[in-house]
Amino acid sequence: MPAASTDISLLALVMGVGSIGSPAFNWRAPCRAIKMETKIMSNGEVTFVNILEVEEGKQAEVAKILQDATDTVISKRPGFVSVTLLASKDGKRIVNVAKWASAADVQATQNDPAAAEFGKKLAGLAKPAPGLYDIVGEYSA
C-alpha cells in the first residue's frame, strides 16, 4: 500500500493505543505504515515507545498536546498504567513510553473519539516512529 494512502491514527501511535492495520485506525492522520506485532510481557502489560521527530520550534507545543491528551483522556481509560514523556535537549524529539494493562485495553482506547481529537492536533507537527517493545531489563536505585 503506498504510504500516501495509508490512514492511521497519529494519536494512537503517539499515545500507544492500538496496532497498525486495526479497523479502528480511521482517524485520518496520514503517515507511513509501519508493520509491527503486539508484544505482551509475561504480566500482560503492553509497552509502547514512540520517538517523534518534531518540526523546528514545535517541541513545547507537541509536549503540551501529549500532556493534555494524557491528563484528560488517556489516563482515564481502563487499563492505563503509565505514560512517560521525554523532551530531547536539542528540541528535535519527544519520546513517549506508554504502558497498558493489556492489549484489549489498548484496543478499547483506540476507539475513543475523544482521543482522536488530540491526534488531529498533532498532525503536521511531528513525525512518529512507533514500536511495541518487551522490557528486557529495568533497574532502579
pLDDT tens string 94-136: 999 999 888 778 778 778 999 888 888 998 999 988 777 778 8
Instruction: Measure the CA–CA gap between 139 and 77, rounded to whole angstroms.
Output: 27
The pLDDT assigned to 26 comes to 33
Q: How far is CA 80 from the centre of its chain?
A: 13
The CATH code of the domain that includes 113 is: 3.30.70.100
Alpha-carbon distances of 125 from 59, 73, 120, 139, rounded to whole Å: 9, 20, 10, 33
Total tally of structural domains belonging to the chain: 1
Kindly report the pTM of this predicted structure: 0.68
Question: Is 76 inside a domain boundary?
Answer: yes
Instruction: Measure the CA–CA gap between 78 and 27, rounded to whole angstroms.
Output: 21
What residues make up the domain containing 31? Answer: 3-133
Question: Is 31 inside a domain boundary?
Answer: yes
pLDDT tens string 33-58: 334 444 444 477 888 888 999 999 99
* pLDDT interval class at 11 (50, 70, 90): very low
Question: Is 140 inside a domain boundary?
Answer: no
